[in-house]
Amino acid sequence: MNPVRTATVLTHRRPSETRPAIDALIEIARRVGATLYVDPDETRKHRLEHGLGLEVDVQGRIDVDICFALGGDGTILTALRRYAGTGVPVFAVNFGEIGFLATVDKEDAPRGFDRAFAGDFEVLTLPGIAVSGAGGEWLAINDVSMHRQPGNRVADLAYAVGADEIGRVRCDGLVVATPAGSTGYNLANGGPVMAWGVAGFVVSFIAPHSLTA
């Protein structure tokens, strides 16, 4: 990858935890001649002021070389959704509990930032799930679950790839997961784990009914 010249950052709700990492990002950006662009929410959260290597209160989705996400999986997913389909990689530092989606742990953040700005990283492409319905359209990075309405009969669901129907299942619902999301709801539902890098999805059914009257 080419050296990074423009970057942005998203953080979780506890600025006291991530502020040292923000300061490290600004210092490294200044040292290598790059610029860190920060949106109004992050500007207020960390009380940042415009200066060398730092542009604050930037509106809208920022066109940059890389996005740094400092937080747990929720923050990382927000960054991934924001930059989905743009080609902008997300470099995630775990400041949460599990950090399954994180690139590095917070203790290794400064060294990780140095390598990121130098372009010394590999981009892993993650598939997403596009969902459309009467209420609009959404993009899921981890998983999508569909459930029958409470009080209704068991759902009779057909599933297909393209125009080819694969089968039908009577159940209470289903979970569709990406490889990154396969260790979440899907695994708890008895579905298999998929390795990162696999270009596919996993479908697991919620309380499938195998008996007929």
73 is catalytic: yes
Alpha carbons 107 and 63: distance in angstroms, whole number: 28
Helix (H) / strand (E) containing 110:
helix 109-117
Q: State the Cα–Cα distance between residues 46 and 181, nearest whole angstrom.
A: 31
State whether the Cα torsion 162-163-169-170 is positive or negative. Answer: positive
Q: Angle at which helices 109-117 and 15-32 pack, to 10 degrees?
A: 30
* CA separation for the pair 14, 81 (Å, rounded): 21
> How far, in Å, CA of 25 to CA of 110, rounded?
8
Question: In angstroms, how far is CA 137 from the centroid of its own chain?
Answer: 17
Annotated catalytic residue, options 73, 143, 164, 172: 73
- Please give the Cα distance from 1 to 38 (Å, whole number): 23
Query: What is the set of active-site residues?
Result: 73
